[in-house]
Structure formats: structure tokens, C-alpha cells
Amino acid sequence: MRNIFRKKALVIAASVTLLSLSASAAEVEVLHYWTSGGEARSVAELKKMLEAKGDKWKDFAVSGGGGENAMTVLKSRVVSGNPPTAAQIKGPSIQEWGAEGVLANVDDTAKAGKWDSLLPPVVANVMKYQGHYVAAPVNVHRVNWMWVNPEVFKKAGASVPKTWDEFDAAANKLEKAGFIAVAHGGQPWQDFTVFESIVLGVGGADFYKKAFVKLDQTALKSPTMEKAFKTLRMVRKHVDKGFAGRDWNLATQMVINGKAGMQFMGDWAKGEFTAANKKPGVDFLCVDAPGTANAFTFNIDSFVMFNLNTPDAKKGQADLASAIMSPAFQEVFNLNKGSIPARLDVKMDKFDDCAKKSAADFVATSKKGTLVPSIAHGMAVPAAIAGAMQDVVTEFFNSDMDSKAAVEKLALAAKSK
């Protein structure tokens, strides 16, 4: 994000003050892009909880574009000196907005709620700017899942793979039995989702962090990264010819209806299985992507608070942040979304087996230091860099590019601004 605000700092500050003073008491305007069924139900629950605290919810939903449309609207609002009370922003974008000096500090709320003890340090750090809480986490999505149709595997006489070598062997058996091995949608973000799980499985969590978080050039140019690209080429040969442009949920349907054996996708895919009345452990399996059993790639939704100068606005932000982090909201939202609570103490009694496994692995990997941010889903590096690296992976996936050439291109993309 370019520094588009500094020249207007004094004007913005004055405008925000005037607008805040003229606003009705404790009106909380929340910009978000949760407009699907389960998401909308969760937003309604948050609204109910906030209004129970005496605040007035003002909904600011911007649909489409996976959040891009919402960010365009948000930038316009902030530049004009009229930011919302809170907005749905995640990952490194929190740091970028923080650097513009427009985010509000919610340390008092976090301290009162004991956030530091309830959130894994790696998650808490994402919610902070220069050591201060400026955002509240809503959930945790696990990305490094492999979704499996066990009946397809049974018919093919194949075993669910735990390593990439086993994956190739299992995929060959599925294809010989007349099934599509890998259901995949040929969209750049889906390609990158598969690739990050491969890098994690081939290189391990420490290598993943060096390459995809620290953007270490030695790691990016290493034989390990070259091996990851060769593994991606192997996976590519097991994708059907009709993959180009396919939406992720249509790929999930291929696994649900028995046309395909496997799909690599985050836990939002579980919603498709449950909507089709499929039961985890019976009709489908949620297993770690090959080689990633001891690691966890996370994607976290969160809300940041903007600088507003009236006591009513600050109260509204404190109430909102407190409501988001409450056990009641963390439970109901994540039951609807398919993800798991961000705070570690929420009871998992009402959640399914996939969520329970995810929650257990979330805690375990946090302790081991193998809980890592998803680069494919905007949690690891700035969007411009992630986009440039994603383009390399998609070019490789759709061409006969050599693995060595891909490594060089990826390392170069990691230097983009």
C-alpha cells in the first residue's frame, strides 16, 4: 500500500473529529464482506451481541471480489476522512494500515480480556502493530488439508497417502480404476494453495518460514524449493483436463459425488460436504496434506479498529472487540464458517471431528513452533509480493517450465515491491 494518507493527515484528523462528534451515540459502523448464508448469520449474531451492550450496529457490507471491493471502498473512506468504526482486514495488511497511522489501539480491551494468554503468540502478533493490539481475530482456518472420498479409495484399492511418494502411487491407482485423482480448479489462488502445502510437506515448517515468511533468497533458490516444484509437476499430471477456471466448490463437488478422490483446500471446503449431508470420517476424510502432519498453515479473519476521537466511538470499538473475542461469538461464528475459534479455551463439544482435529493440531503446532501463516491466503507477506510469486506458480502449473527456471523466477518475484 502506498503512503496515500500523510499529506492529508491534519485534514483527516479534523474531519474524523467533526464527523465523530456529529454521530449518534455509540454507533458502530462495521465494514465487512461476509455476505454468504453462514457468514451473514454470524454477522447477525455479532450485531445482536453488540446491541446488547447498548451500542447501535451500522452494517457496511461490500460483496464480491473476495474482499478486494471492500478494500477499494475502505481506502476511499479513509482518504476522505470518514473511516468506519471497524473493518475486516487481515494479515500483513494490518501492518500496512498501521504504518499509515490510522488504526486505534485496543490494548485496554485486550488486557482486560487476557488476550495474550488466550491467543497463540504467532496469532497475537498478527493482531498487533508495533506491539499494540489494533485488531481482534474472529477465527482460524486451516489451509493444509487434503479432502478424501474413502469410497473412491476403497474401490481403487488405494491407501490414503501420508507422503508425496505415496501420493503418486495412490493417484495412479485411482486413475487406473477410472477416477480422477485430484479435483482442482485452475485459478491462481488455488494453484498457490496446493503449492504452499507441497513446500511445507517437502521442506518442513522451518524451511517454509524461511522461504515464504522471511523471503530468504537462499531458501527460495535452494534444491528443496526445486524439489517442491518437481512435486507440483507430479501433482499436475493427476489433474483432469477440465480444470481450467473451475471454482473451488465445484472441485469439492467432484470429491463429494465420487468422480475424484482428493482435493487440496482449506477447511471452508467442509461446508460443501456438510451441506450435502456428508459425515466426516464416514463419507469424507479430512487429512493433513502429505508430509504436513506436524504443521499447520493458518488463515485468520480479523477486524481492525480505526482512529475515532469521541468517547462513544471508543466505547463502541471496545465493545465490538470484546464481543468478537467472547467465547459465545467464537463458537457460533466458527460453527457456521467451518473454521475454529482463535482463542484456545473455547470448548469444542459442538464441533465436528474435523474441527476437533484442527483445534488440537492448532494448539500442538503453536507449542512446537510449526504454526505458520498461509502465503496463498494473505497471511505471510504483503499482497504485491504474494501476487508476484503466485503468478510464477501458475505459469509453471500451466506450462512446461523447468523447475530450475521456476525457482529463479520465484526468488525474483519475492523481491518485487
Residue pair 385/215 in contact (Cβ under 8 Å)? The answer is yes
pLDDT tens column, 340-392? 999 999 999 999 999 999 999 999 999 999 999 999 999 999 989 999 999 99
114 φψ region: left (φ > 0), alpha (ψ -120 to 50), beta (else): left
- Side-chain half-sphere CA neighbours of 395 within 13 A: 15
State the average pLDDT over residues 333-344.
90
Q: How far apart are CA 42 and CA 94, in angstroms?
A: 22
Q: Is the pLDDT of residue 126 over 70?
A: yes
Q: How far apart are CA 398 and CA 414, in angstroms?
A: 20
Q: Is the pLDDT of residue 315 over 60?
A: yes
Range with the poorest average pLDDT among 64-68, 156-160, 385-389: 64-68
Range with the poorest average pLDDT among 191-195, 257-261, 310-314, 401-405: 310-314
Angle, in degrees to the nearest 10, between helices 383-397 and 188-212 = 120
What residue ranges do the domains of the chain occupy? 6-141+299-361, 142-298+375-413
What pLDDT score was predicted for residue 37? 72
- Of 83, 82, 124, 102, the closest CA to residue 1 belongs to 102
Do the domains 6-141+299-361 and 142-298+375-413 sit in the same CATH topology, yes or no?
Answer: yes
State which of 22-36, 66-80, 389-403 shows the largest mean pLDDT. 389-403
CATH H-level, domain 142-298+375-413: superfamily: Periplasmic binding protein-like II (3.40.190.10)
φ, ψ of residue 140 to 5 degrees: the values are -135, 120
State the average pLDDT over residues 1-27.
47
Alpha-helix residue ranges (DSSP H) falling in 114-263: 115-118, 121-126, 150-156, 164-176, 188-212, 217-220, 223-236, 248-256
What pLDDT score was predicted for residue 107? 98
Q: How far apart are CA 233 and CA 212, in angstroms?
A: 20
Residue 180 bridge partners (DSSP): 260
What pLDDT score was predicted for residue 372? 96
Q: How far apart are CA 39 and CA 88, in angstroms?
A: 13
* pLDDT band, residue 1 (cuts 50/70/90): low
Q: Is the pLDDT of residue 336 over 90?
A: no
State the average pLDDT over residues 285-304.
97
Say which CATH topology domain 6-141+299-361 has: D-Maltodextrin-Binding Protein; domain 2 (3.40.190)
Residue pair 292/144 in contact (Cβ under 8 Å)? The answer is yes
* pLDDT band, residue 21 (cuts 50/70/90): very low
